[in-house]
Structure 1
Amino acid sequence: MAAHNNAYSLPSQPLPLSPISMIDVFFPGLTNIPAALQQLQAGPNSYGRVLCICGLAVFFGRYVNDFFEAFVTRHFTSRVYVSHSNEAHDMLVAWISSQPFSRKASSLLASVGTMRRGSANDHFDGNQKKSLQYSPWNGSFSFWYKNRLLTFRSVQKEGRIFREEEISVSCTGRSPDVLRELFSECRAEYLKLVKNKTSVFEHRDGGWKKTRAIDKRPLDTVILDEKKKTALYGPPGTGKSSLSRAIAGACDLDIYILNLSGVDDSSLGKLFTELPAKYVVLVEDIDAVDVTQSRQRGTVKTGQDETSSSMEKSQGRVSLSALLNVLDGVGSQEGRVLIMTTNHAERLDAALIRPGRVDMKIELGYTNKDINARLFCAVFMRDDTLPDGSRQGDEVTLGNLTTEFANKMPEQEFSPAEIQSFLLEYRRSPHMAVENVQEWVVRTREGKRQMKRANSWVLQEGGDILG
């Protein structure tokens, strides 16, 4: 029994642990290389030796390459990074894409029509229709700039929603002066591209994105009552958005268009903090989101009304208090113009439009005789011969037609957009426009009456169902 027990007894001393080398801490597996070399010398197979040597070369090469790249990047190069959401990205890509050396890039992004976000003049293939444009994408290449070798790199990285592009330009040396000179040149060339244009930004993916650049529109091309060209509410099609863009062009400012239905309280504040020092921000159809009624709904606290109030509040993602905070904070800084448009001024909360927050209010209503005449002239006053034999530059003929048109068109009934749409149908014949205007008035009135009856029926049916 004693012998049997001794056979299964545990050792009285613990087994010694192999010491961990400090080399393995920084270079895992490096201490096993001497043993591998001994086996390599003793091994009879020459092919096996070759494979082992290649494996060791790859092993060492990985460490050497990573160490060398990190060391050189940190101590011997300068680099400037550009976020895809910043306009500096457009400036750099526009300049890079216009340079001959960018054609040598092995990785390109092809696009039809306008460049990414409409920012650059890329390489065209010669066709005006559906022209192809190319720009460097997800790769790197080197180029000479002012006798310095620079490297352009585009990398795709995981973003909050989708992969985002990160661009960088680097050079050898600790001084980034040459990179600053490059970006200054990119900025100067970019400003030439957007000269006499208004850059339009919209909120997308949590930030501002440049969507297009439009020609600056002089204020005199916006046909409204001259006494009302100073501030904005009124029926659809009365020129609220057009006047806002004209104001941005007249002030030589970019315009930022905000749709409140796509943001909440936190993102609203973030968007306003990311605005530049000087800008025009256009909040279109502020009544459509119904943010202005949150205070009234919040006063209901009992019974079924409380449940209804909570449901209504959840539909409006932006609260009135959050909107007022940005208007009184970053939105009220000097050099910034805030324009809010609405089709229903009566729905707006008094706190939102009180003096101090809204300094100017103007109603852009339906047309009068003067506006009708100016709309007619704007469409037909051009120096070319029309198919009906008249010349658009003939002031006498056009003057008579303008007066006749203005007399036939009723006042305070149609929007400028409606009248302009009618006139453009006869853009080649002002005589036909005058001849058919009364028929159009009758037809349009009947269409509106039918639409009004249809809307009334829908509301009535909805009331019966809900009731």
Structure 2
Amino acid sequence: MDTIKNILSPLGMSTGAIQDTLKLVVIGGTVETARRASVSAWNGFVDSFFLTAHFSQDDYPYDWLMHWLAKQPSWGRSREFEITTRSVNRNGITQTTTGDLEEEEEEEDALVHGRRKRKVAFMPSLDTTHTIYYCGHWLRITRTKAYPDYRHGCSLKISVVARNNDILKKLVLEAKREYEKDAEHRVHIFMADTSYGCWRWNGARQKRPMSSIVLQPGVKDMLLADCKDFLCSEEWYAERGIPFRRGYLLHGVPGSGKTSLIHSLAGELGLDIYVVSLSSKGMSDNTLTTLMGNVPSRCILLLEDLDAAFTRSVSRDEKSTGAPTAATAKEAATTETTDGSTLSLSGLLNSLDGVAAAEGRLLFATTNHIERLDPALSRPGRMDVWVNFTHATKWQAEGIFKCFFPFKPSTPATATTSTSPKDPSQQNLPLPKRKATTHAIPLLTEDEISELAKKFAEAIPEDELSVAALQGYLLKNKTRPRECVDEVGEWIIQERETREKLKKEKAEREAKEKKEAEEAAKKEKEEKEAKEKEEKDEKEAKEKQERKERAAKAKKLRADATAKSDSSAATTPASTESTPAADTTTSSESTASSESETSTGVDADTEESATEEETDKASSAEDKKEKWVAVKSTSAAAPAATTTITATTDAAAAPATTPAAEAAS
């Protein structure tokens, strides 16, 4: 206490104020502690009677329960809600609540200025607890969002007063049954997310009936039977130690129905489709391995356009059919640096049938050019079943025509079936509101449809037009079956002319590109040659300048040596008079040395001028010769100087001795 008083006294507080402040702090802290303890105890007491389940938006049970809650009346009568038009669930069906606006209760297909009406729904707000009565229990439901900036961060918490979790199990199973019932006619599509290495729901599509796929006889039945047999043979594979995987390679011309067949098979088997884009940004060996390992069992894994999506490494050796050319390799290197994809063929092979590869899935791969694939990628074990897709045949054309145009049923027409009015006076009366896809199609008899289909098939050339082209033509004439047959010949002529025109334009474009490439290569070659010539000229000029500098330097060294020898000879005039013999000898030696140096200098100059026109090899030899001349000149000057100095010394000593001898005599 005294310490606290000493601290607070400089602040001008009296002893009474300090005591009152301390009392207030102690009492406030005690009350707050008691409040927190009581709240914690009460929450613990209440929670002991509740069972709580948490559901994440990334998993299916969240969608089951949200779909189930959307149908509950109390969920739509929430006191705190948000108005939204984005009430489409993962299964692709609209979540309807009792809080929808009255005007939205009108006909679903009603259009406003050509656009479909948007349904406005009242959804309970986030971070708000709602109470729902279910099977004799009160459910407390709270929807929260863990990450505001992350669209998949919502979660659902359900609490119920119960002794065990049977009520929660019953709730989840009921929600699942209703969800699957409403999503029975839809196929879920999942796309690979390379940023997080996981799968993201991309949408739900209506199932496509197998009858809408017209292939060669027996192909659909074979594939469907093989897929069903595989899905029921898990124990058989396990007993024999065979990996529980199956691969299908669909190859052929574009627009022949490969992807449509996969969509139809997924709907027939009740499987989801997981799509992988091998050329997507950020795709690497590790990412692909992680994605393949997270693929659930009993699903379809789709690799579309395998030859086009995997251009950087379709082959592991240059001798393979799909080995990229030099230009392709250069382009691939550029692409790899720009899109950040580092996927290799080995990584793809390991992800398909490696140790970490998922089992129980049906792998479908499509390609338009099977010859570009590496044999290791298309071998059995990875691609077990091959199906070839060709252009449309006459049999396919007849089947597609029958699929597009329905025939009049033999049973009496129902309330939803319209027939042509028997009374001609009633033909101009307005027809009842029907869907745009059926109300304008005239219903013909089965014999009439068969006859028109045969005529249509006879007009179609064998193996020339794609199935997609036929489908496009029939879509344009979906309400005119007779006109469709009558005009098919003209359409075929137009298609041929269009193909010829496109082929001609492609040839011209390729020729133009080839010509431009040749001109660019020629220009690049000329620029390269000019640059090489310029560099060569610069190099020769530089070498010539260096040779001149070396010659001048050698000449200067010789001149210095000559001047030094001359100066040494000039410093001894007395010795020249006393010893004429020595002087004569020295002079003769100096003259000889000078003549030698002069002749050497002349030779060096001559050799220098000759060296300027020789090659680099001669230049090197000349450099060595010039160095040798310089050394020789220096060594020649040195003995001359030594002789001169010696002669001078002897001459100086001689006069000194002669007077002494004369004096002695």
Q: TM-score, normalised by structure 1?
A: 0.77
CA distance in 2, matches of 1:211, 1:304: 36
CA drift of 1:267 comes to: 3.0
Instruction: Name which of structure 1's ranges 114-123 and 347-356 shifts more when overlaid on structure 2.
Output: 114-123
Is 1:276 equivalent to 2:264 in the alignment? no
Aligned to 1:370: 395
Is 1:414 equivalent to 2:414 in the alignment? no
Aligned to 1:338: 363
CA distance in 2, matches of 1:331, 1:126: 51
CA shift digits 1:319-365 (9 cap, x unpaired): 22222222114897653211111122222121111011101111111
CA distance in 2, matches of 1:283, 1:339: 6
Is 1:208 equivalent to 2:199 in the alignment? yes
Give the direction of change, closer, same or farther, for the CA distance of 1:34–1:460 in structure 2 (3 Å limit).
Answer: farther
Give the direction of change, closer, same or farther, for the CA distance of 1:36–1:376 in structure 2 (3 Å limit).
Answer: same
Aligned to 1:238: 256
Give the direction of change, closer, same or farther, for the CA distance of 1:328–1:116 in structure 2 (3 Å limit).
Answer: closer
Give the direction of change, closer, same or farther, for the CA distance of 1:296–1:147 in structure 2 (3 Å limit).
Answer: same
Counterpart selection for 1:108 from 77, 82, 88: 82
2:302 alignment partner, SS class: strand
Aligned to 1:13: none
Give the direction of change, closer, same or farther, for the CA distance of 1:228–1:142 in structure 2 (3 Å limit).
Answer: same
CA distance in 2, matches of 1:197, 1:310: 41
Is 1:138 equivalent to 2:117 in the alignment? no
Give the direction of change, closer, same or farther, for the CA distance of 1:356–1:69 in structure 2 (3 Å limit).
Answer: farther
Counterpart selection for 1:98 from 71, 78, 94: 71
Once the two structures are superposed, the pairs formed by residues 24-43 of structure 1 within 5 Å of their partners are 36=21, 38=23
Percent of paired sites with the same residue: 27
Aligned to 1:379: 404
Is 1:324 equivalent to 2:315 in the alignment? no
- 8 Å CA contact retained: 1:372, 1:406: yes
CA shift digits 1:71-97 (9 cap, x unpaired): 468755432222212222211110011
Aligned to 2:170: 181
Is 1:293 equivalent to 2:314 in the alignment? yes
CA drift of 1:272 comes to: 2.5
CA drift of 1:197 comes to: 3.6
CA distance in 2, matches of 1:304, 1:408: 44
CA drift of 1:459 comes to: 4.7
Which amino acid is 2:165 matched to? P
CA drift of 1:179 comes to: 1.9
Is 1:122 equivalent to 2:106 in the alignment? no
Counterpart selection for 2:272 from 250, 254, 271: 254
- 8 Å CA contact retained: 1:90, 1:119: no
Give the direction of change, closer, same or farther, for the CA distance of 1:111–1:236 in structure 2 (3 Å limit).
Answer: farther
Is 1:264 equivalent to 2:284 in the alignment? yes
CA drift of 1:391 comes to: 5.4
- 8 Å CA contact retained: 1:150, 1:169: yes
Aligned to 1:429: 480
* Cα RMSD after superposing both structures: 4.0
Counterpart selection for 1:446 from 493, 497, 502: 497
- 8 Å CA contact retained: 2:190, 2:273: yes
- 8 Å CA contact retained: 2:67, 2:179: yes
Which amino acid is 1:281 matched to? L
Which amino acid is 1:351 matched to? A
Which amino acid is 2:189 matched to? V
Give the direction of change, closer, same or farther, for the CA distance of 1:93–1:152 in structure 2 (3 Å limit).
Answer: same
1:275 alignment partner, SS class: coil
Give the direction of change, closer, same or farther, for the CA distance of 1:395–1:117 in structure 2 (3 Å limit).
Answer: closer
- 8 Å CA contact retained: 2:315, 2:374: no
CA shift digits 1:92-120 (9 cap, x unpaired): 11001111111133233612573456255
CA distance in 1, matches of 2:52, 2:288: 33
1:293 alignment partner, SS class: coil
Is 1:393 equivalent to 2:440 in the alignment? no
Give the direction of change, closer, same or farther, for the CA distance of 1:70–1:325 in structure 2 (3 Å limit).
Answer: farther
CA shift digits 1:186-225 (9 cap, x unpaired): 1121121122443333335743344444444342321111
Return the index of the structure with the highest Cα Rg: 2
Aligned to 1:220: 211
Once the two structures are superposed, the pairs formed by residues 350-369 of structure 1 within 5 Å of their partners are 350-369=375-394
CA drift of 1:312 comes to: 5.3
- 8 Å CA contact retained: 2:144, 2:156: yes
- 8 Å CA contact retained: 1:90, 1:120: no
Which amino acid is 1:447 matched to? T
Aligned to 2:59: 86
Is 1:157 equivalent to 2:146 in the alignment? yes
Which amino acid is 2:361 matched to? R
CA distance in 1, matches of 2:513, 2:306: 25
Which amino acid is 1:222 matched to? I
CA distance in 1, matches of 2:166, 2:441: 63
- 8 Å CA contact retained: 2:68, 2:178: yes
- 8 Å CA contact retained: 1:148, 1:171: yes
CA distance in 1, matches of 2:67, 2:355: 31
Give the direction of change, closer, same or farther, for the CA distance of 1:167–1:415 in structure 2 (3 Å limit).
Answer: same
Aligned to 1:4: none
2:487 alignment partner, SS class: helix
Aligned residues: 423
- 8 Å CA contact retained: 1:91, 1:119: no
CA distance in 1, matches of 2:286, 2:370: 26
Give the direction of change, closer, same or farther, for the CA distance of 1:304–1:146 in structure 2 (3 Å limit).
Answer: closer
CA drift of 1:310 comes to: 4.1
CA distance in 2, matches of 1:274, 1:381: 44
CA drift of 1:160 comes to: 8.5
- 8 Å CA contact retained: 2:215, 2:396: yes
Give the direction of change, closer, same or farther, for the CA distance of 1:114–1:457 in structure 2 (3 Å limit).
Answer: farther
Give the direction of change, closer, same or farther, for the CA distance of 1:175–1:349 in structure 2 (3 Å limit).
Answer: same
Give the direction of change, closer, same or farther, for the CA distance of 1:114–1:445 in structure 2 (3 Å limit).
Answer: farther
- 8 Å CA contact retained: 2:398, 2:457: yes
Give the direction of change, closer, same or farther, for the CA distance of 1:65–1:454 in structure 2 (3 Å limit).
Answer: farther
Aligned to 2:559: none
- Bigger helix fraction: 2
- 8 Å CA contact retained: 1:272, 1:330: no
Which amino acid is 1:110 matched to? T
CA distance in 2, matches of 1:147, 1:126: 31
CA distance in 2, matches of 1:449, 1:65: 87
Instruction: Name which of structure 1's ranges 353-362 and 64-73 shifts more when overlaid on structure 2.
Output: 64-73
Which amino acid is 1:271 matched to? L
- 8 Å CA contact retained: 2:186, 2:206: yes
CA distance in 2, matches of 1:38, 1:187: 60
- 8 Å CA contact retained: 1:151, 1:171: yes
Higher relative contact order (CA 8 A, sep 6+): 1
Q: 5+ unaligned residues in a row in structure 2: which ranges?
A: 6-17, 109-116, 224-247, 409-417, 421-426, 428-439, 522-665
Give the direction of change, closer, same or farther, for the CA distance of 1:394–1:329 in structure 2 (3 Å limit).
Answer: same
